[in-house]
Structure 1
């Protein structure tokens, strides 16, 4: 009788022991299947989150270093220099300068607001000149153009778009002209106020009206609404021109910052870079950091947003890896014990085979085939059940991990930094939605490899018992 036929007869004849071994493998396979499912789902979630958060980086002021050092601003020229790095796909930035108006009324949350009583009325309106035909707020969808077109990108163009709030308050429409002024003021330290020394008028043509959705909440929501309502978009060229005039005036009249250069009076920009790949983030940060003054600026990236969720994902992967390690070790130990017990009951059978001249290796192959056939059946039965088990446990795990995620706090007591909004955001609902435990090729291959691998190790250990058998001692 051949080894294969003898293997099949042995399995079917010893139904009780075969069923016990099948049950042991089934239980072990379910545990390992659950861990493999969670591991694969965590890895998949990791990749999905990276893709959704994108590959972005931004140069912004490091508020933790404010007041500690004098630093060079990130000007438009610096932003363009950084944009030439090989990792950069595109760059978006704007120059922001304050302007006033004697004719256009600003929006205020204070119903009793009087510009004559406001010493900062000369900079009540925030003019933004973007290097892009579609500034970041519009690209992100937080601002929408309701009427007209975006300002021309041609240098020297004096076109603007204003908010619907300003348009309604001043009865302005697309096609109208509006006059604003650059108010050059000096700080009167003695009287604790700013005195406007000159007003440089600029007449702009309104080419569009837009609306911006509020992105702030809490006590600063109304203040943010006021700032948004008084924000006006214009051409980068004209914004740069106005900013240069202001810088020259301040440089000539400032009696306090005597050790600074003209460049340090220019407005700093906050450029956002779209990178070619998320894999380029680290190398971009390393190279861009050499081109900016890191005494006052830092580089944030979409990778920072990913870190807020990666801890939960890493924790689940760590738990699943521990289950895999201990589960595989337990599988080897349990299967080895079960096999040795079963083989001891069959020592007379093996003694007869060897007395008839059969090689011990052939007997070992038969035992290996018996175990592997039963193991294959046990694994196949556990594919679905193990996956369903993992699905229930993993949902509970991810809910627990997100619920216990620590809140970020400032290291400085009582200090709440007003930093830029994160480049990308992701919430708990989105993480839970993308965490899918499924049956795929990686899951099946991983499950079969681990359980069959554990079975083979158990067989090899148990084979030592067969090889140690002496037919004379058994049969006498």
Structure 2
């Protein structure tokens, strides 16, 4: 009889033993399938979220390191501002698609109205109102390009206006409405200098008035989207809103000019506060990379060129802050896959050998009749495959469901959510990052999906069949050692 038919009859007639082997493979297959489903899903959500965040890298002050050097206090002297030569040298990297750099400024204003938090329980800087200035060498500033904000009225600053440093700017619609301003109006930003007295009180002096034409109005995109659930945003969200709405976008030349005017006026009003020969202005570079896959390699290359006190910060770092549970699941599922494959090899091998010991007389008869050992070995492998393929096809479905049930409950569990909220608090500190990247735990959970895919099916079947074939090595060794003469005696 053909060994193929013998394999089929052996499986179909030994129903009890076939069922036991089927159950073993089915249970182990569920573990492997569930772990592979989780691992691929976690990898997919990380890739998807990082694609959404984009491939943007900036150089920012390493606050944590500077705080350590300052004995944990904020009273440290920050590093010298980056030089344009360094920024351009980093921008020549093969990973960079294009780049821009932004001069920044900070104005303490007097009568000009700013956007304030709508929270009676929180006081921000007392009665001091301030505006952030963000410069750019491009018409489309980084925050517009990275979809952090959108233009709702008017236009962006033109290339000629940027080149000539013309006094034009784009401001938030809320700040414009607070001051009764619109497109084409001249806003007058009256600044003041605040100094602290020895007794702890403060006093202010009128400084300068900057007249700037409003050419465009913007509204935030990310912050506006998250307003659908104000309770989850809390005070942290309001701080981020206030910081964004009180930002003014203009050319680098105009920011530098305003900063220089403020410095000169400050020296005039309070010479003791400006003892240094020259107060250098802060520059923040923004590099857009060709692919999110290049982020880590570029960060290493960039870090080597940055001076002491700076670090490379990527938009994709936000996923690492709030996606801790997903990354932890990926690591755990990887270990589960390895351990379950090892367990499958041992258990299936031992079960098959145990069953074959009762069939040694059958093998002895075949060998005595002149059957070749390789055909007996092929019969053993076929019997394993007949049962295992059915079990694996079923576990492909149930394992996916099991992986989905377990992983989604873990991602949304209170324990992991607390870890993610702790990471989210770091976002509050870095909310003014030039990259503007922002993620919440909810974003990660909403993007996490365990589903059937071709890669999942192929990976599982390859893993399962390879495991079954490897587990046949021990039984085949047993067949090779059979001595028909001793068996039949």
Q: Same fold (TM over 0.5)?
A: yes
User: In the alignment, which residue of structure 1 is the partner of 2:293?
Assistant: 279
1:71 aligns with 2:85: no
Asked if structure 2 preserves the Cα contact closer than 8 Å seen for 1:106 and 1:230, the reply is no
Asked if structure 1 preserves the Cα contact closer than 8 Å seen for 2:322 and 2:423, the reply is no
Greater alpha carbon shift after TM alignment, 30-39 vs 14-23 = 14-23
1:93 aligns with 2:107: no
1:32-62 deviation per Cα after TM superposition (whole angstroms, max 9, x unaligned): 2222222222222232222222212222233
1:243 aligns with 2:249: no
Task: Pick one of 133, 136, 152 that aligns with 2:139.
Answer: 133
User: In the alignment, which residue of structure 1 is the partner of 2:307?
Assistant: 293
1:165-213 deviation per Cα after TM superposition (whole angstroms, max 9, x unaligned): 5545554443344555677x797978975656x75x6544333444568
* Distance in 2 of aligned mates of 1:223 and 1:357: 85
Q: 1:261 to 1:335 in 2, by over 3 A?
A: same
- TM-score, normalising length from structure 1? 0.79
* Distance in 1 of aligned mates of 2:247 and 2:53: 28
* Distance in 2 of aligned mates of 1:360 and 1:134: 75
* Distance in 2 of aligned mates of 1:429 and 1:100: 37
Q: How many residue pairs get matched?
A: 456
Asked if structure 2 preserves the Cα contact closer than 8 Å seen for 1:152 and 1:235, the reply is no
Asked if structure 2 preserves the Cα contact closer than 8 Å seen for 1:368 and 1:459, the reply is yes
Greater alpha carbon shift after TM alignment, 44-53 vs 228-237 = 228-237
* Distance in 1 of aligned mates of 2:214 and 2:373: 95
1:206 aligns with 2:229: no
Asked if structure 1 preserves the Cα contact closer than 8 Å seen for 2:103 and 2:282, the reply is no
How big is the shift at 1:437?
2.1
* Distance in 2 of aligned mates of 1:328 and 1:455: 9
Greater alpha carbon shift after TM alignment, 31-40 vs 60-69 = 60-69
Q: Which runs of 5+ in 1 are unaligned?
A: 111-117, 411-415
SS at match of 2:94: coil
* Distance in 1 of aligned mates of 2:32 and 2:271: 71
Q: Kindly name which structure, 1 or 2, has the bigger radius of gyration based on alpha carbons.
A: 1
Asked if structure 1 preserves the Cα contact closer than 8 Å seen for 2:325 and 2:420, the reply is no
Question: Which residues in structure 2 correspond to 1:317-466 (within 5 Å)?
Answer: 317-400=330-413, 402-405=416-419, 408=422, 420-421=432-433, 423-466=436-479
1:9-41 deviation per Cα after TM superposition (whole angstroms, max 9, x unaligned): 333333333333223322222222222222222
User: In the alignment, which residue of structure 2 is the partner of 1:472?
Assistant: 485
Asked if structure 2 preserves the Cα contact closer than 8 Å seen for 1:127 and 1:234, the reply is yes
* Distance in 2 of aligned mates of 1:409 and 1:324: 28
Backbone CA RMSD of aligned residues: 4.0
1:427-447 deviation per Cα after TM superposition (whole angstroms, max 9, x unaligned): 233322332222333322332
* Distance in 1 of aligned mates of 2:361 and 2:238: 89
1:118-146 deviation per Cα after TM superposition (whole angstroms, max 9, x unaligned): 9x99x965554433323344445554544
Q: Which runs of 5+ in 2 are unaligned?
A: 67-73, 118-124, 225-229
* Distance in 2 of aligned mates of 1:449 and 1:301: 36
SS at match of 2:472: helix
